[in-house]
Amino acid sequence: MRVLGLSAYYHDAAAAVVVDGRIVAAAQEERFSRIKHDPAFPVNAARACLELAGLQPAEIDLVAFYDKPFLKFERLLETYLAFAPRGFTSFRHALPLWLKEKLFQKSMLVKELSQLDEDVDWAPRLLFSEHHLSHAASAFFPSPFARAAVLTMDGVGEWTTTSLAIGSGADLKVIREIHFPHSLGLLYSAFTYYTGFKVNSGEYKVMGLAPYGEPKYAALILEHLIDVKEDGSFRLNLDYFDYCTGLTMTNRRFDALFGGPPRKADEALGQREMDLAASVQAVTEQVVLKLAQAVARETGETNLCLAGGVALNCVANGKLLRQRSFARMWLQPAAGDAGGSLGAALVAAHLYRREPRPSNGAADCMQGSYLGPSHDTADSVRRLSAMGAKFDVLDDDQIVERCARALADGQALGWHQGRMEFGPRALGGRSILGDARSPTMQKLLNLKVKYRESFRPFAPAVLREDVSDWFDLDEDSPYMLLVADVLDRHRIAMTPEEQQLFGIDKLNVPRSSIPAVTHVDYSARIQTVHRETNPRYHAVISRFKALTGCPVVVNTSFNVRGEPIVCTPDDAFRCFMGTEIETLAVGNCFLRKQDQDPALKERYEGKFVLD
């Protein structure tokens, strides 16, 4: 059976194709439209996935959408009635859109699907999953576990904000839920808004900012904003929030509690924002750890799967791993709404059509999350030549050697190889790589390549066989969803003067022998690189290790701030020419900036709306 899964109309629209229970392709619409977090119907992503699967639209048996719009509309109405008349402003803004489009989403989806093939009768093929069931399915069915507890946490689906499911074989049942307006994801988003970042976009910035601060406000949050029980269940005090009734996340009472209005996006970050970030991160970790402990105690399950936006909080994930409430954990790399498309397809395959779940041995079924389109050498040569690029076409060994030497020489390397990753992280398919040993690489990449805030940390990509020699971790972390500390023997001791520094002043103090990937608290967001899923990526880092003695490189997404990760060779060349990246490898094509026509350079950073 062939299933097309879809998520759309909120943020991070995506498509996925599952054939006979096996994941064949998945991609986000933003990569094709070049609109960050694009919520539109994912027509380009769907076409790409069908092409990767070798299917015509008429060959699709079922189309599964990731949530149920009628239940969302029910939440809107009941929330308005519960808070009336306070909620009238937000209700007045939302109702026309719901009446025009979302309430009649089935007919709208049928109309949109006709873009794939107008001769297909799509209506009888269309199914609707539930939001958190889609998340849970995306976490359990691709996991390597025969049985597992499945915890999903996000802002809100239809009504649910947190759910517990039990997966066994090809079966999956949600057994417990926490409902809107009580939401750990919305609590974190409230602080994202209050510290001056975009909701549903900037939460990872709050996580990255947290180590610069102290959790001075954690007790205040626990006293006034959230009541956390011993089993991790919680309730928010809605007196401090405005997301139920207004057009912002927080209100004046929230402002008074934390000493002033929200930071504006163009204002400098201060110590207050750093301490607020540290505080909401600490509270989030406390809730996640308590929830997991209770789940392990009550279910007796030894495996845990995670999905939903909160599962992208890799700092909390790292602490959850070290807590050892479960013997093993698996995290869906596309944990947010994009992954709902994959989950919906898996719900249709396994829960609706009762297809058996395919086995992948000890490995998961995500294929390293390399599920998007690729470009062969001939296509890359054609595209780059059409753009006026100058390049050498090398054989496999030569491209590995040239790239490893560029990294060893301290150059930033654009890396466009193989199939594009599914999910928010660049995992060695569409990455920018650098020398982790460089004390200036972090600042260089942030300010001159990414054009983003200087405090933002970068992730280490490390050979799986070497991870425990450098970090306090000896687990697979292929999806960059676990944080662990750099081992003591690689750290650089701080002077008494350096220990007295506060906030952003800590940034320029080298913390270890791999300073470009060591955060101010000696932590790192780790990607383990596996020969089985990405042999060329593994080969380049192995050759870099042979040249330098270090099996660790910087890995960050191939884009500038506000731009989606690059998709095609054309996107890669434009980003290369619009930034200060010195070298670029597109398949077997190797480019040096100094060889390019200066007329092709452009002020690239101004082309995208800042995130």
The catalytic residue positions are 11
What is the side-by-side strand order in the sheet with 160-168?
Answer: 171-179, 160-168, 147-153, 303-307, 328-331
Helix, strand and coil in the chain, % to nearest 5: 40, 20, 40
Using CA atoms, how far residue 428 sits from 240, 367, 420, 520, 565, in Å, is 42, 13, 9, 25, 12
Residue 41, token pair as written in the block: 């119907």
Q: How far apart are CA 169 and CA 172, in angstroms?
A: 8
Using the 8-state DSSP alphabet, how is residue 52 labeled? H
Q: How far apart are CA 383 and CA 365, in angstroms?
A: 32
Q: How far apart are CA 48 and CA 54, in angstroms?
A: 10
DSSP, collapsed to helix, strand or coil, labels residue 169 as coil
Contact 541, 461 (CB under 8 A): yes
Beta strands in 503-551 (DSSP E): 523-529
Q: How far apart are CA 475 and CA 329, in angstroms?
A: 10
Q: How far apart are CA 521 and CA 313, in angstroms?
A: 16
3-state per-residue secondary structure call for 295-348: HHHHHCCCEEEEECHHHHCHHHHHHHHHHCCCCEEEECCCCCHHHHHHHHHHHH
Handedness of CA 498, 315, 537, 340 (dihedral sign): negative
Distance from the first to the final alpha carbon of the chain? 39
Compute the C-alpha angle 438/443/445, nearest 5°.
85
Using the 8-state DSSP alphabet, how is residue 453 labeled? -
